Amino acid sequence: MSFEAAIHAQAIEVGKLSLEMTAAAGSGHPTTSLSIAHLVTVLMFDTMRWSPDYPDYPTSDRLVLSEGHAVPAVYAAAAKLGVMIGKDPDNRRKLTTDDLNSLRELNSELDGHPNPMEGFPFFDAATGSLGQGLSVAAGLGEAARLDGFDKRIYCIIGDGESREGQVAEALDYIAERKLTNVLPIFNCNDFGQAGRVSDQQSAERIAKKLEAFGFEVLVVDGHGPDAIKAAFTVFAERQGQADAVPMAIVANTIKGWGCPSIQGGGWHGKVPSGEALTRALGELDERRVELTSALNANDVFEIQPPADAPARTEQTAELPSLSDTMRKMDMETVLHAGRLATRKAYGIALRALGRINDDVVVLDADVSNSTFAETFAKQSDLADRFFECKIAEQNMVSVAAGMSAGGKVPFCSTFSKFFARAYDQIEMAINSGANLKLVGSHSGITLAADGPSQMSLPDVAWFHSWTTMKDHRGNPGCYLLQPADAFAAYALTGVMAEYEGVCYMRTLRAETEFLYSDDQVFNLGGFEVLNEGRDVVLCAAGYMVHEANKAIELLDAAGVSATLVDLYSLPFDTDKLLDIISENNGYVISLEDNYGGGIGSAIADALVESGDGFTLEQMHVRHIPKSARTPDELLASCKLSAQDIVDQAMSVLQVV
């Protein structure tokens, strides 16, 4: 068959459909779509081993469209191939070219940017916030390698997009991990949104950089079917070569390929309509006449199916108790000492989890000896499921999202503070329906000596926001967990592994006393009453539970009977908490080692909805903290010491 003619014919169809569907939607990026029309056509019609009937089949080759705004090209190709779509896996239908006109409609599976959760399972992750796709592809590559799947992951990245530092992080990661099953394809169409792409992102410069990062680079004509296929073949043939280094493709393309009337600057994200649309479609028809003369009737593509996927083995074993696990680790003395940092309990839990759940993988950002992810990493039988991501948090989170799409249960750890570098990546993972566990250590001010550049302070407020809405499964966008002792941290790590969705757990640097035992049950959405009083409720989490405990004793001595609630989860059972507050005359004080907007505000949200006359005093960090030698000094300087809590309680109760 004439491969060139056949690809051109399909690519031109893809381009025309992209123009038509964006015109119908009244918005979108047809010119970017035209720049990747040939790359997408060769991949989906010829190169990828996959099945339009099972677009998310586990062993299928994958396409990650990092420059998500170019998605009309993929929708168009998918329609031509009758790819199955639909939110409900058991109730999917074939996408038709007619469906394309529903692009960006409220009830359409064809969202403005790629998102598997809206009913287009061909994709593994939501993209559109730029620079994240290559990291997701790396995660898919790692998962495939762990599963022993001969699976190839193709990722299309825009030239302007590659200015995002996360792309450099992903390239370093792929090169270091020798992920030869991942192929970065840079779409160099030379135009960004506001202007031309910088010379720093020119095709030549990108190729130079890729070589410096350790990649073998092929520069191709992104609209030349044979050239594209040849490059993909080189990539495929390198699979399994022991000494192979990762490879990348730099594709020279034209934004608005085939349509001179909409090329060049000023056409990014612009949709031709009326005469301009007719002209552009006409220009593509002319290109067809030119380029497809060699086409003959029996030039049809046969898509290679993926290999059969092995049946998934259910992970059913029970997590042993913390005490049993510590005994196995010869930590009897610590167990008897009765003090252990929650970050260390997290590490112990990871190690136990790794042994009962083959899907659990652990990622860290060069601080595994601080987060104690090293407790997992240092086990020879688990080491191959530990991924050292180095100091690159954005890449770590998106790689984990990719691993999740590959069926893994990723735990990511770094300092809580540094997860803030990946909030956008976390949001895109939530939008993708990822099954992600984020565990930040050194939370809040009790880190003390290192100062505010290492302290997580507005983090609780941001995650609080994710507890006020629902994800695609109807669960909170994220559960925020703040264990106060080792038993809680251990148990909640197990709970996170059982749950499908995103969780964020804050652990502490400081050693803290045991408050619970092996028998204590912890639930997402739960809380625990540690002391039953009648005058005022203290709601605390994490380190502040211990400070509250000290305050309870002082208050008791002063004749005040305080209730202590360990609010270890956001969201929590608000009705149950309101009852407890009512039983304490409506007086409540919240205690946080972070800035406001966190659990105090969450309690306030619940109280004012009730309309009863409750009184809440929020105690939290109210100025930028600095270094101090000890947690106690810092707590006192932030007016969060046990004595400050007592004084606040006395003033709330108007006890003079």
Q: Which stretch binds a second copy (CB under 8 A): 10-18, 44-52, 189-197, 521-529?
A: 189-197
Q: Which of 96, 200, 278, 296 binds a second copy (CB under 8 A)?
A: 200
Sites for a second copy among residues 127-146 (CB under 8 A): 127-131
Beta-sheet strands, E only, within 173-321: 182-188, 216-221, 247-252
Separation of alpha carbons 346 and 550, rounded Å: 25
**Per annotation, catalytic residue among 142, 161, 374, 393:** 393
Q: Active-site residue 393, yes or no?
A: yes
Nearer to a second copy, 45 or 572 (CB): 572
Query: Does residue 481 sit in helix, strand or coil?
Result: strand
Can residue 42 be called a binding residue for a second copy (CB under 8 A)?
Answer: no
Q: What burial class does residue 555 get, using C-beta atoms within 10 Å of its C-beta: 0-12 exposed, 13-18 middle, 19+ buried? A: buried
Report whether 438 contacts 410 (CB < 8 A): no
Q: How far apart are CA 153 and CA 133, in angstroms?
A: 11
Q: Which is nearer to a second copy, 207 or 484 (CB)?
A: 207
Window 567-586: residues binding a second copy (CB under 8 A): 586
If one asks whether residue 430 binds a second copy (CB under 8 A), the answer comes out as yes
Q: Please report, as residue ranges, which positions from 318 to 377 form the binding site for a second copy (by CB under 8 A).
A: 364, 366-370, 374
Contact in structure between 235 and 247 (CB atoms under 8 Å)? yes
DSSP string, 393-451: HHHHHHHHHHHHHTT-EEEEEEEHHHHGGGHHHHHHHHHTT---EEEEESBSGGGGGG-
169 contributes a contact to a second copy by CB under 8 A: yes
**Least spacing, CB of residue 642 vs a second copy, in Å:** 18
Give the per-residue contact string, 390-409, with a second copy (x = CB under 8 A; - = no): xxx-xx--------------
DSSP state of 154: E
167 or 319: CB nearest a second copy: 167
Q: Which of 152, 287, 421, 437 lies at the binding interface for a second copy (CB under 8 A)?
A: 421
Q: Which two tokens stand for residue 531?
A: 């002391």
Residue 435 in the binding site for a second copy (CB under 8 A): no
Whichever of 491 and 602 has its CB closer to a second copy, that residue is 602
Site for a second copy contains 244 (CB under 8 A): no
Between strands 562-566 and 536-540, the pairing is parallel
Instruction: Tell me the closest approach of the beta carbon of residue 457 to a second copy, in angstroms.
Output: 8
511 binds a second copy (CB under 8 A): no
Binding mask 617-636 vs a second copy (x if CB under 8 A, - otherwise)?
xx-xxxxx-xxxx---xx--
| Closest CB to a second copy among residues 55, 477 | 477
Tell me which residues in 468-487 interact with a second copy (CB under 8 A): 468-472, 477
Residue 367 CB, nearest distance to a second copy (Å)?
6
In the β-sheet with 536-540, what is the strand arrangement from edge to edge?
528-531, 562-566, 536-540, 587-591, 615-619
The residue within the footprint of a second copy, chosen from 49, 52, 150, 175 (CB under 8 A), is: 175
Instruction: At 314, list the tokens.
Output: 């259910």
Cα–Cα distance for residue pair 253/250, rounded to 1 Å: 9
Q: Give the dihedral sign, CA 371/641/617/586.
A: positive
Interface of this chain with a second copy, residues 56 to 115, rule: CB under 8 A? 68, 104-106, 108, 111-113, 115
Q: Which stretch binds a second copy (CB under 8 A): 26-34, 74-82, 149-157, 217-225?
A: 26-34
Q: Label residue 150 left, alpha or beta by phi (over 0 means left) and psi (-120 to 50 means alpha).
A: beta
Identify the DSSP state of 184: E
Residue the block writes with tokens 């270890």: 568
β-partners of residue 58 are none
Within 197-311, strands assigned E span 216-221, 247-252
**Binding segment (CB under 8 A) for a second copy, from list 37-45, 341-349, 353-361, 603-611:** 603-611
Total residues interacting with a second copy, rule: CB under 8 A: 126
Check residue 417 for interaction with a second copy (CB under 8 A).
yes
So which residues are the catalytic ones?
Answer: 393
